[in-house]
């Protein structure tokens, strides 16, 4: 766990040095360097504010391929389970074991999906579905630089459904590293990764289980 000063310094550097961001955005980040050294918590809040302002203005395009979002079971249990299902699973450990014994885990996960947003903008990191095709859980872990272990839940968003739901995508920029404090981020960290605005339920094609 990096301290606040390290997080502030690194996130400022990531945004300031990202050639894919408008010059004004990079300057704004750079101007926070002194605050990052003297009051890193305040600097981080200013960076959060910068993120909120900037992401809405970055150009986006319609997707041309299927994309996927890969999460661990705990995150799925926490945010994606329908509340009427979640209330009967006291812990993600028990939910994982329940899904592991199901003959159709992908199907079951899809049935358990709640009506809420699949993922909000700040976390809408997507990778081409083809990148994950045929990969086991451990292989996916290596590709995505995950720290949490498999099994994973892979939510696949098809081009058709994303288009119908009005989903647009763009390349991630340094500004996107701010909400989750991803101080290890660098351009092309995960090849062909894209980021989106809020991803609605309607954009989902199918769910896959990766043990």
DSSP-assigned letter for residue 194: E
How far is it, in rounded angstroms, from Cα 167 to Cα 152?
Answer: 23
**Least distance between another protein and beta carbon 34 (Å):** 21
Question: Is 61 one of the binding residues for another protein (CB under 8 A)?
Answer: no
Among the listed residues 59, 87, 103, 188, the single contact to another protein using CB under 8 A:
87
Residue 86 vs residues 9, 72, 110: alpha-carbon distances, Å = 39, 16, 14
How far is it, in rounded angstroms, from Cα 115 to Cα 152?
Answer: 20
**Least distance between another protein and beta carbon 88 (Å):** 4
Among the listed residues 9, 173, 181, 210, the single contact to another protein using CB under 8 A:
181
Peptide bond into 189 cis (omega under 30): no
**Least distance between another protein and beta carbon 170 (Å):** 19
Helix, coil or strand: residue 119: strand
Residue 67 vs residues 52, 174, 207: alpha-carbon distances, Å = 24, 21, 12
Nearer to another protein, 109 or 119 (CB): 119
Among the listed residues 33, 75, 110, 143, the single contact to another protein using CB under 8 A:
75
**Least distance between another protein and beta carbon 36 (Å):** 15
Question: Is 101 one of the binding residues for another protein (CB under 8 A)?
Answer: yes
Among the listed residues 31, 49, 82, 94, the single contact to another protein using CB under 8 A:
94
Give the angle 64-67-71 at the CA atoms, nearest 5°.
165
Contact residues: another protein, CB under 8 A: 1-4, 7, 44, 71-72, 74-75, 78-79, 83, 87-94, 96-98, 100-101, 119-120, 122-123, 147-149, 179-181
């Amino acid at each position: 766990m990096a301290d606040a000063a390290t997080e502030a310094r690194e996130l400022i550097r990531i945004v300031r040095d990202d050639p894919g961001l408008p010059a004004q955005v990079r300057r704004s980040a750079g101007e926070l360097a002194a605050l990052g050294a003297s009051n890193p918590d305040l600097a981080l809040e200013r960076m959060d504010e910068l993120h909120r302002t900037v992401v809405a203005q970055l150009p986006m395009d319609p997707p041309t391929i299927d994309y996927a979002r890969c999460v661990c079971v705990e995150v799925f249990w926490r945010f994606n389970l329908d509340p009427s299902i979640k209330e009967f699973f006291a812990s993600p450990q028990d939910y994982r074991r329940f899904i592991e014994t199901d003959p159709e885990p992908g199907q079951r996960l899809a049935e358990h999906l709640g009506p809420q947003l699949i993922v909000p903008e700040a976390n809408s990191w997507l990778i081409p579905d083809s990148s994950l095709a045929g990969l086991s859980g451990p292989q996916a872990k290596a590709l995505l630089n995950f720290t949490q272990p498999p099994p994973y839940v892979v939510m696949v968003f098809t081009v058709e459904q994303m288009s119908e739901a009005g989903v647009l995508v763009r390349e991630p920029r340094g500004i996107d590293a701010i909400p989750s404090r991803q101080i290890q981020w660098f351009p092309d960290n995960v090849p062909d990764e894209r980021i989106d605005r809020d991803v609605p339920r309607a954009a989902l094609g199918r769910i896959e289980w990766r043990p």
